[in-house]
Amino acid sequence: MTDTLTPDDLRRVDQVVELLRQSKSLLFITGAGLSADSGLPTYRGTGGLYDGRDPEEGVPIETLLSAEVLERCPELTWKYLLQIERAGRSARPNRGHEVIAEMEKRFERVWVLTQNVDGLHHRAGSRNVIDIHGTLHQIRCMRCAAERAVTDYEGFALPPLCTHCGGVVRPNVVLFGERLPARQLATYRTETERGFDLVLSIGTTSVFPYISAPVLDAHHLYRPSVEINPGETDVTEFVTVKIPLGAAAALDAIWTRYNA
């Protein structure tokens, strides 16, 4: 992999390797750019499910995937939840997920703060995961609150109903207009208050305040941070090292040279 990188890429990779050698605790902040390397499409990004167009109803996907529409017209929200789950059903953890899981075994303290709801970090072997937007693979009844894990949505009705009480079920994800889940938010606060030797922001535009905050905190506390993203983001100007590459390629190169 490293033989395809430019000299500038390798210089930046080696800077990250040196930062890793000086660190005992790591925070990975991951977004859609990491899962994209597994072939999982985004909603609005280039090549995404709804790139440049609204769904069939002529309503923005952000509206259809909102708590308000789920409550009022659950079959409409579920129509698009089924599309999104089906589009990513064959996705598997990529080399980026694997590297992060391997690092968890080698450093004293490693946490992953992910916006992704696909569960790929867990499947790659990461244990310390804050899935701040929840997961598609855990559903709960909106009436009796019964929960269960699911592998996929194959055979789901439109909308799917609870086997206990017949109420409409929903995935344990944060829909537009909803608050962050209490359990994940509590873990987020506990771990970020402890601080990290190195913060790595990977494949995310960092538009949400709780996603950009650890990078900005590192900047203000004079601690190092890294961004892996082909484009410029809201935190680019604040990081110590910026690697303008795809997530999986960059992480593989970093880990290869770290272990050389």
CATH number of 61-87+138-173: 3.30.1600.10
Q: Mind listing the pLDDT tens digit for each residue in 57-83?
A: 778 888 999 999 999 999 999 999 998
* For residue 111, pLDDT beyond 60: yes
Report how far residue 124's alpha carbon sits from residue 96's, in angstroms, rounded to the nearest whole number: 9
Kindly name the residue from 97, 133, 164, 219 that is annotated as catalytic. Answer: 133
* For residue 49, pLDDT beyond 60: no
pLDDT at 46: 45
Helices assigned H by DSSP within the chain: 7-21, 32-36, 61-64, 67-72, 74-87, 95-106, 120-124, 182-194, 209-220, 247-258
- The Cα-based distances of 8 to 2, 15, 70, 226, 242 in angstroms read 12, 11, 48, 15, 11
Asked if domains 2-39+93-133+180-258 and 61-87+138-173 share a fold, the reply is no
Q: Mind listing the pLDDT tens digit for each residue in 120-177?
A: 999 999 999 999 999 999 999 999 999 999 999 999 999 999 999 999 999 999 999 9
Report how far residue 161's alpha carbon sits from residue 140's, in angstroms, rounded to the nearest whole number: 10
User: Per-residue confidence at 42, pLDDT binned at 50, 70, 90?
Assistant: low
pTM of the model: 0.93
Q: Mind listing the pLDDT tens digit for each residue in 195-206?
A: 999 999 999 999
Task: Report the greatest alpha carbon distance in the chain.
Answer: 61
Q: Is the separation of the CB atoms in 92 and 124 below 8 Å? A: no
Q: Is the separation of the CB atoms in 121 and 112 below 8 Å? A: yes
Report how far residue 6's alpha carbon sits from residue 125's, in angstroms, rounded to the nearest whole number: 31
Q: Which fold has domain 2-39+93-133+180-258?
A: Rossmann fold (3.40.50)
The domain segmentation of the chain, as residue ranges, is 2-39+93-133+180-258, 61-87+138-173
Which element (helix H / strand E) includes 157? none
Q: Mind listing the pLDDT tens digit for each residue in 247-260?
A: 999 999 999 999 99
Is there a catalytic annotation at residue 133? yes
**∠ CA(138), CA(95), CA(246), 5° rounding?**
100
Q: Is the separation of the CB atoms in 234 and 212 below 8 Å? A: yes
Q: Is the separation of the CB atoms in 69 and 50 below 8 Å? A: no
Q: Mind listing the pLDDT tens digit for each residue in 178-218?
A: 999 999 999 999 999 999 999 999 999 999 999 999 999 99
